[in-house]
């Protein structure tokens, strides 16, 4: 199955809706992909970068559905999120248990390095907001315009952490529980994030809420979308969404679920409701 990662039409930066397009089963324990946990879309629309939190490797899924392991290394431990930094030719990964960012170079010899949050210069005491460093970090995304890195933590309170492009400094920490979202929103965690420069905001998925929020860039407001997929003409709730990515042109949202043998990659079209 070939994935449509781009569309000729331009996206609307106003109100919108998500429409299910297709899904792909993504449970392959024979190669270690049995707990999908993070997703990033290639900037040229050629495929997806995926991590599985029990496997010390990065996976590449091409647009035609071919899957392979890459960058295997013992340091790729307990991975919960992944983001492509095309400008700096690297992948950035989140390791939850070590409360670290891991950098993987995309050019030979593919250097790998780890940067714990505790070693970053910070304007606040991170121990106060992240007392349990072995739990919490879940997703990562990069602002392609500034290089700023954003990491989400699911612990109470849910946090959006801003990190400098050189991974030297924590430059901002934001309480996501303070973002106004619809009252019917029933999620209490975050499991993945991707920046949307076209609409000037973030898409943030919740595995417990089986939903995705769109949050404005200034975190002044949010909108919640329940996540569904379809089979045999029947609509079903998407269980345990863990990763989220956006097509290069902003037309399609991709959500990765960790649901055992029913794990899948789901594509949605972001459509205007005007």
243, pLDDT greater than 50: yes
**What pLDDT sits at residue 216?**
92
| Nearest-angstrom CA–CA distance, 23 and 255 | 9
Strand partners, 205: 192, 212
pTM, full prediction: 0.91
Among 110-114, 133-137, 138-142, the least confident range? 133-137
185, pLDDT greater than 60: no
Query: In angstroms, how far is the first alpha carbon of the chain from the final one?
Result: 31
Q: In the predicted model, what is the mean pLDDT of the chain?
A: 88
In this prediction, residue 134 has a pLDDT band, given cuts at 50, 70 and 90, of low
Establish whether the linkage from the previous residue to 109 is cis, with ω within 30° of 0. yes
Angle at 188 between CA 184 and CA 189, to 5 degrees: 130
**What pLDDT sits at residue 272?**
72
Angle at 27 between CA 21 and CA 142, to 5 degrees: 65
**What pLDDT sits at residue 191?**
93
pLDDT tens digits, one per residue of 20-55: 999 999 999 999 999 999 999 999 999 999 999 999
11, pLDDT greater than 90: no
Q: Give CA 173 to chain center in angstroms.
A: 18
pLDDT tens digits, one per residue of 100-122: 999 999 999 999 999 999 899 98
pLDDT tens digits, one per residue of 189-222: 899 999 999 999 999 999 988 999 999 999 988 8
Q: Give CA 2 to chain center in angstroms.
A: 21
**What pLDDT sits at residue 221?**
86
Higher pLDDT, 94 or 11: 94
């Amino acid at each position: 199955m070939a994935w449509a990662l781009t569309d000729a039409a331009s996206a609307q930066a106003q109100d919108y809706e998500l429409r299910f397009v297709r899904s792909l089963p993504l449970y392959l324990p024979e190669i270690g992909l049995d707990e999908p946990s993070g997703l990033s879309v290639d900037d040229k629309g050629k495929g997806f970068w995926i991590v599985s939190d029990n496997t010390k490797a990065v996976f590449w899924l091409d647009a035609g559905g071919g899957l392979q392991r890459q960058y295997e290394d013992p340091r790729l431990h307990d991975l919960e999120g992944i983001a492509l930094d095309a400008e700096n030719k690297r992948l950035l990964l989140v390791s939850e248990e070590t409360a670290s960012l891991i950098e993987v170079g995309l050019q030979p010899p593919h250097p790998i390095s780890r940067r714990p949050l505790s070693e970053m210069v910070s304007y606040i005491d991170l121990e106060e907001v992240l007392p349990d460093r072995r739990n919490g970090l879940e997703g990562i995304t990069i602002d392609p315009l500034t290089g700023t890195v954003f990491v989400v933590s699911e612990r109470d309170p849910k946090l959006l952490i801003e990190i400098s492009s050189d991974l030297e400094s924590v430059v901002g920490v934001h309480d996501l529980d303070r973002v106004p979202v619809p009252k019917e929103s029933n999620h209490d965690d975050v499991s993945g994030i991707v920046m949307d420069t076209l609409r000037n905001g973030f898409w943030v998925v919740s595995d417990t809420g089986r939903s995705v929020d769109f949050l404005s860039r200034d975190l002044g407001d949010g909108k919640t979308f329940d996540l569904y997929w379809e089979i045999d003409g029947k609509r079903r709730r998407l269980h345990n969404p863990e990763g989220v990515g956006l097509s290069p042109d902003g037309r399609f949202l991709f959500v990765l679920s960790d649901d055992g043998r029913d794990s899948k990659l789901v594509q949605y079209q972001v459509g205007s409701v005007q």
